[in-house]
Structure 1
């Protein structure tokens, strides 16, 4: 078997067999297949695609390229949640403690931000002392003791995905369904959870810009999960505007803390409650969506989720006092308010543009090795459809460098569109995809 022949085969639109895909992944991880040949193959896949069987075989080959986490020592049904990436998407920081407070163990391995999308690990590292690298023994012990742990993916889990994603990122082959699905699901399968809830983002700030593409991605990932023996549910949610109000690492920690104390942005909370209800159902903690939602509301109202967040932070070496005294978190030196010049309505918030603006302020990475500024970002005060009075703050920019602020500010302003007339609030949740079919909402 020769890699050049397999590149040619896919270039010509033919199907790769399971053995051929396994040969490719094993050879790439071992270093026998060089980056330039793998780049040629990913570009061929980008233009020629892969059918569902090829995508499933690629996923399994990537999942099996390293260790499969054994979470069997953790009591109960472990449910993982994954978002396909967005802006102001603080769901994990809110959702994981709430779900754990309801009695479902949350053993989550998360990633870092890249480009316009934020990473859960970077947000958590805003908390002084917080460790996101634990041994597997520590990880399991924490989940059994307090019901919750969020860490980075270990080097031994799905190493093929790490290597391939870095390559795709610099060869313009990220946004193609077979490669997105296999990347996400290989990590989820290697992560060892019993069930998976997928938050598939749709719109301006997401990889999937239209409903048909988001639906196809959701269906492919649900099929992969179910065929691997994992109960899998996908929820298609909106990313045509930032989900929450905070874009930036320490800012999103603050937003999560406020949300867990009952002061959260409505859009963020609605998505968290919907995803959390599915997680409780899959974990066997609730029998109906109504019961699950009631449990989550109770945990929120009684402050149980916030207490669980503090428990997790303490267990992972962080200072829980920072979750109540925000001055202990990284704080930007400059705050610039964007104010309304007239009475108006917010008609559009371009999620991707705002995410990229936050990245340019220092809140994100253009390359994996970039060092980020945990304190900077953008704090929105209004969402699409909201009325703003003259002089009222639409958003506050948090920066540490005046030159960066001045360079980014025009693009932030261009990312916010207004109207003199009332604008309807956008749809938030579009559909749920399971092995039994699609439920439109």
Structure 2
């Protein structure tokens, strides 16, 4: 192992044998934490070639279970996001794509910190089960066309140990390590095609677009080399996506969108990502045709019906589709007013997300209990005009002392004379 560390420390390309030796030692615990950490730091500073990244990804993928979805007919398409505030995109997207006859087997995660998790949002629906056996998962996708669950079995155990060490050695933001971590789990999920939403901006993990492009390129290259049809969309996360942040609130916004009256930015992102998925799934020949087909699932009600069918197939109460009161809601709704007139010049996604976390809508530790009903509802977005005393947002809370939450929100919103609103879709990486 000392030789492997030395080779990477000197900037050499690691051989497949060296990478496989490393990953096997991680899983069998024959390589100690301090040597794993030393190699992670060497990778952080020296980087990895595309081939090294693919070899590392496949070794981590092969370290554990991987799903065989061959029993599901058709081209199976999935979507992954690097995470953001108010990012409930997977929920309406999966239903809309599945409504077009494309199987969507989606394995998602939980939130940690101020970015919400898809599974947490779904669990705001009474009875919804995210833990499903592999057989039940496959059967549901065959019969219903869509399922969103947590990881089944022991997926990429090497990644779990490596990630834990990255977290405590300040090597989390290494693009080769991020890319191999994401793709090892996505390839293990057994889908045929994948669209990746890479967020960029103040509220994203990749703050600047050049880093986001580097990560997106690495992800697509790994996917292609592993035999996966793969594309990445770089989208904006300088402000929250949509108008609602919080678990129940984001299910409500998902349902609003599926009924044809969701927020414009969320709809645009869903149609952009979804059009690529529809083409990958072989149901459309052009992106424009894919967008039209997806939009039609909203007007004809098929996407909403598909979402309800998924809820009921996973033990949830499908009546939430028409009766939002069946989900947990906060006791108090408190308005937060504009201190002056002008234009919203900044609306920090991070700040809004942390405010929701402070209310109990997110986790600071993995075992924290969530308060599903709390969150933030935005009435204004970047570039919108506001008048002094006008409500900027509504705080949904189960606590009466909101002093710290309001201070966080005040620090997250800037009102000036003019604003530059970044585009929602930055670029597509093919």
Give TM-score, length-normalised by structure 2.
0.96
Partner of 2:271: 273
The reply to whether residue 423 of structure 1 matches residue 419 of structure 2 is: yes
Q: How many Å apart are 1:146 and its aligned residue?
A: 1.3
What does residue range 281-296 of structure 1 map to in structure 2 within 5 Å?
281-296=279-294
Cα distance in 1 for partners of 2:150, 2:301 equals 27
Alpha-carbon distance change, 361 to 44 in structure 1, aligned in 2, over 3 angstroms: farther
Q: Which residue, 322, 325, 330 being the options, matches 2:323? A: 325
CA displacement at 1:32 relative to structure 2: 2.1
Shift of 1:337: 1.1
* Distance in 2 between residues matched to 1:5 and 1:159, nearest whole Å: 24
- Measured after TM superposition, the shift of residue 425 of structure 1 is 2.8
Q: For the residues of structure 2 that align with 1:21 and 1:369, how far apart are their CA atoms?
A: 33
* Counterpart residue number, 1:65: 63
C-alpha distance in 1 between matches for 2:244 and 2:46: 39
Structure 1 261/74 Cα, relative in aligned 2: closer, same or farther at 3 Å?
Answer: same
- After superposition, the C-alpha distances for 1:53-101 in whole angstroms (9 at most, x for unaligned) are 2211111111111122100111110011001111111100110001111
**Structure 1 residue 248, shift from structure 2 partner:** 1.5
Question: Could you say what secondary structure the match of 2:171 adopts?
Answer: coil
Contact 2:240 2:349 in 1 (8 A): yes
Residues 338 and 396, structure 1, Cα contact 8 Å, conserved in 2: yes
Please state how far the C-alpha of 1:286 moved relative to its aligned partner: 0.8
CA distance in 1 between counterparts of 2:362 and 2:276 reads: 30
Within 5 Å, give how 1:85-104 maps onto structure 2: 85-104=83-102
- Rounded to whole Å, the distance in 2 between the matches of 1:15 and 1:41 is 13
Instruction: String of CA shifts for 1:281-306, please: whole Å, max 9, x gaps.
Output: 00001111111111111101122211
In structure 2, the residue matched to 1:29 is 27
Residue 428 of structure 2: which of 406, 427, 432 is its match?
Answer: 432
* 1:16 positional shift: 2.2
Using the TM superposition, give the Cα deviation of residue 368 of structure 1 relative to its aligned residue in structure 2, in angstroms. 2.2
Match of residue 165, structure 1, among 163, 166, 181: 163
Structure 1 runs of 4+ with >6 Å offset: none
Structure 1 distance, partners of 2:211, 2:339, is: 39
Structure-to-structure mapping, 1:42-61, within 5 angstroms: 42-61=40-59
In structure 2, the CA distance between the partners of 1:166 and 1:377, relative to structure 1 (3 Å rule), is farther
- Contact kept, 8 Å, 2:340 with 2:415, in 1: the verdict is no
Q: Report the secondary structure of 1:385's partner residue.
A: coil
- Structure 1 position 193 matched with structure 2 position 183: no
Please say which of residues 194-203 and 42-51 is displaced more in the overlay. 42-51
- The match for 1:340 is 338
What CA distance in whole angstroms lies between the structure 2 residues aligned with 1:5 and 1:15?
12
What CA RMSD, in Å, does the superposition of the two structures yield over aligned residues? 1.6
SS in 1 for 2:199: strand
Alignment of 1:347-358 (within 5 A): 347-358=345-356
Structure 1: distance between partners of 2:38 and 2:398: 41
Secondary structure of the equivalent of 1:103?
coil
DSSP 3-state at the match of 1:170: helix
* Aligned position for 2:372: 374
| Corresponding residue for residue 242 of structure 1 | 240
The answer to whether the Cα contact below 8 Å between 1:204 and 1:240 also exists between their aligned partners in 2 is yes
- The equivalent position to 1:410 in structure 2, one of 407, 411, 414, is 407
Aligned-partner SS, 1:70? coil
Q: CA deviation at 1:45?
A: 2.0
Q: Structure 2: any 5+ residue segments left out of the alignment?
A: none
In structure 2, relative to structure 1, the CA distance for the partners of 1:16 and 1:360 (3 Å cut) is: farther
Q: Give the corresponding residue for 1:137.
A: 135
Contact 1:69–1:157 (CA under 8 A) maintained in structure 2: no
Aligned counterparts of 1:123 and 1:408: Cα–Cα separation in 2 = 21
Q: Which moved more, 1:251-260 or 1:45-54?
A: 45-54
Unaligned 5+ runs, structure 1: 435-441
Deviations 1:243-276 (A, max 9, x none): 1111111111111111111111111110000100
* In 2, Cα distance between equivalents of 1:108 and 1:132: 11
Q: Which SS does the other structure have where 2:34 is aligned?
A: helix
Between 79-88 and 335-344, report the one with greater CA deviation.
335-344
